[in-house]
Amino acid sequence: MATSQAVVRPANRFFRRVREGNEIAYTITVICAASILLVTVLLVFQLWNNSGIARHKFGWSFIGSQTWDPVNEDFGALPLAFGTLVSSALALLIAVPSGLMAAIFLAELAPPKASDVLTFLIELLAAVPSVIYGLLGIFLLVPILKDHVVPVLKSTLGWLPIFSGPFYGYSMLAAGLVLAIMIIPFIVSVSREVLLAVPVEQREAALGLGATRWEATWQIVIPYASRGIYGSIFLALARALGETMAVTMVIGNNPKIAMSLLAPGYSIAAVIANEFSEASSAMHAASLTELGLVLFAITVIINGAARLMMLTTAEHAK
Amino acid sequence: MNEVDGTAVRMVQDPTQTIPAEATKPEMKVQLRTEGVNFYYGKYQALHGIDLDVYRHKITALIGPSGCGKSTFLRTLNRICETISHTRVEGKILLDGEDVMELDVTSLRRRVGMVFQRPNPFPKSIFDNVAYGARINGLHRQKRIRDIVEESLVRAALFEEVKDKLQQSALALSGGQQQRLCIARALAVNPEVLLLDEPCSALDPIATAKIEELLFVLKDTCTMVMVTHNMQQAARTAEYTGFFLLGRLIEFDKTDTIFRNPSKKETEDYITGRFG
């Protein structure tokens, strides 16, 4: 570099131009980065500001209260937060094992070409609009549940409280299933990537000791990739917590806390989407905004906990 | 599993008697023999008709320029080459007279262990690294596993350095220690043959000297085949040396003969540094 600068004069001017370019690029990128922060701050500020009268009236009892009654203007977040958390947990319970197994198949066992084609299809699924998944839930999932799955569940596991009560189709179970279908592509494609990124030396070390392919995968490759796999799960969870449209279409939209997964429920995102445009009063609108604040807090807490967990496991591995 | 104890005893006895390399003892038997081994990556033929005998409890070095097929050949011996798709092996590889293609691949790899070019410890504790092989072989008794781990670390000349930190992560060890740990891990399943794929290429001279010293001692209990780029290393450690070029075994003989009096011109050119 130095020699070429010394020999060719015009190069000097060229390099100076680049340096000025650097400063311009620096300024632009800083502005862009700062605007992300600004948006976050504005978001919280707006939620906080617009929920003022609800926060004043209900205080902390807003979070603990079990009623959501727009007619009598009595609002509490618990049944909705419950619906959000339970439907997301149910989705994870179904999606994590099946998504992980699919990722293992694609990364470790499938012939590379078949794996690429399947992965492309799976990533395509991640791009399908959620309203389509809602329709899938209504036209496919709910009838199947009603005619085939739930009767079997009731006759075998009906004694469990989570499978008690009548089943009308639109329910927490349906919402959890639709969410599971929606988040599986995330888990599969991210987990596959991290499994493929495990150094081939790790695999060979295990195989060279006489491990079977499955032992090498299960005991060596997956632990090695575990941080990335957790990452994929949290990404999926974040999507499930905030999912609105598909959940609204199948969850039943009933703000009651029920033990049974067969009973209808409601989620925070669904109630905001359904009621905000026709909120009957200022208090109703403010309460819906406060629900937004609660959802925001839930996602921040869960993501924070996830980060913390990943940090501690990283220390353990080192 | 009494074998473990057997070898330990032998190890104690052997150093007292210096066996001349030419001695026609039972140990002079061929342990691993290849007959006309061809290897293909897809349509590309990487090995052409390799015939080679590996003698029991000796070190056999494989030398040759990069891309000559010596690592590929090594990887056919424990069939780890099969992990790459679209590859094919032809010819016979006999371990104590048994065709390795007819052996169960996991039991073959227990009998023919491998140490890789770059140290590749698992991100687990030192103890768990060495115990891994024993555990997948169905050992569960804690006491037995502890014994095997200690014995393997002693054999790999690492025990004194790590005995107080067996529960610490293996990744905290230096490169040379990690490679000796990988050797200990391979020894823990008590292999008859140990394949070493340029085991010192990522190490500094002091760590290299330690590994060579270790190989010299291990010879009493283990047959070794070592791929190396370093001709001095082959000359220092190996009794037998094979020279590979362009996928062919050009010459195979006692190390002395290969370095002092090679019969092929290519070998002479390579060892005198005319190419490669």
Q: Where are the domains of chain A?
A: 2-50, 59-317
pLDDT higher than threshold 70 for residue A278: yes
Domain count, chain B: 1
* Dist. CA B196–CA B13, nearest whole Å: 25
B23 domain-assigned: no
Q: Strand B30-41 and strand B87-95: pairing?
A: antiparallel
Interface test with A, best of B71, B87, B106 (most A CBs within 10 A): B106
A92 contacts A237 by C-beta, under 8 angstroms: yes
What tokens appear for B14 in the block?
A: 């052997």
Chain B's closest residue to A113, CA to CA, is: B85
* Chain A residues within an 8 Å CB radius of B123: 223-224, 317
B254 domain-assigned: yes
pTM higher than 0.90: no
Q: In CATH, what number is assigned to the domain containing residue B225?
A: 3.40.50.300
B144 domain-assigned: no
Chain B's closest residue to A210, CA to CA, is: B106
> Which tens digits make up the pLDDT trace of A178-235?
999 999 999 999 999 999 999 999 999 999 999 998 999 999 999 999 988 988 899 8
* Dist. CA B120–CA B175, nearest whole Å: 10
How does DSSP classify residue B51?
E
pLDDT, residue B28, reads: 62
Exposed e or buried b per residue across B200-220, where buried means at least 16 C-beta atoms within 10 angstroms of its C-beta: bebbeeebbebbbebbeebbb
**Which residue, among A313, A314, A274, A306, has the nearest Cα to A291 in the 3D structure?**
A274
When comparing pLDDT for A72 and A309, which is higher?
A: A72
Q: Is B253 exposed, middle or buried (0-12, 13-18, 19+ CB in 10 A)?
A: middle
Q: How many residues does chain A have?
A: 318
B127 domain-assigned: no
* Dist. CA B259–CA B53, nearest whole Å: 19
Chain B's closest residue to A316, CA to CA, is: B169
pLDDT, residue A314, reads: 56
> Which tens digits make up the pLDDT trace of B171-204?
999 999 999 999 999 999 999 999 999 999 888 8
Average pLDDT, chain B: 86
DSSP-assigned beta bridge partners for residue A15: none
Q: Phi and psi dihedrals of B246, rounded to 5?
A: 50, 45
Interface check B40 vs A, CB under 8 A: no
Q: What is the mean pLDDT of residues A244-272?
A: 93
Q: H or E stretch including B251?
A: strand B248-254
**Interchain CB distance below 8 Å, A224 and B113:** no
Instruction: Give the domain range for residue B249.
Output: 30-120+191-271
**Interchain CB distance below 8 Å, B114 and A208:** yes
* Dist. CA A80–CA A254, nearest whole Å: 9
B148 domain-assigned: no
* Dist. CA B157–CA B221, nearest whole Å: 14
Residue B78, SS3 per DSSP: coil
pLDDT, residue A164, reads: 87
Q: Is B11 exposed, middle or buried (0-12, 13-18, 19+ CB in 10 A)?
A: middle
Q: Which fold has domain A59-317?
A: MetI-like fold (1.10.3720)
DSSP-assigned beta bridge partners for residue B38: B90
* Residue A292: band (very low, low, confident or very high) from pLDDT cuts 50, 70, 90: very high
Scan residues 105-164 of B and list those with Cβ closer than 8 Å to A. Answer: 106-110, 113-114, 116, 118, 120-124, 132-133, 136-137
> Which tens digits make up the pLDDT trace of A137-155?
999 999 999 999 999 988 8
Interface check B168 vs A, CB under 8 A: no
pLDDT, residue B6, reads: 41
**Interchain CB distance below 8 Å, A210 and B106:** yes
Q: H or E stretch including B187?
A: helix B175-187
**Interchain CB distance below 8 Å, B123 and A223:** yes
The A-side interface with B (CB below 8 A) comprises 111-112, 199-212, 215, 219-220, 223-224, 317-318
> Which tens digits make up the pLDDT trace of B72-130?
999 999 999 988 888 899 999 999 988 999 999 999 999 999 999 999 999 999 999 99
**Which residue, among A72, A261, A101, has the nearest Cα to A176 in the 3D structure?**
A261
Exposed e or buried b per residue across B61-100, where buried means at least 16 C-beta atoms within 10 angstroms of its C-beta: bbbbeeebbbbbbbbbbbbbbeeeeebebebebbbeeeeb
Q: Strand A74-75 and strand A68-69: pairing?
A: antiparallel
> Which tens digits make up the pLDDT trace of A15-48?
666 667 788 889 999 999 999 999 999 999 999 9
Q: Strand B59-63 and strand B248-254: pairing?
A: unpaired
**Interchain CB distance below 8 Å, B123 and A209:** no
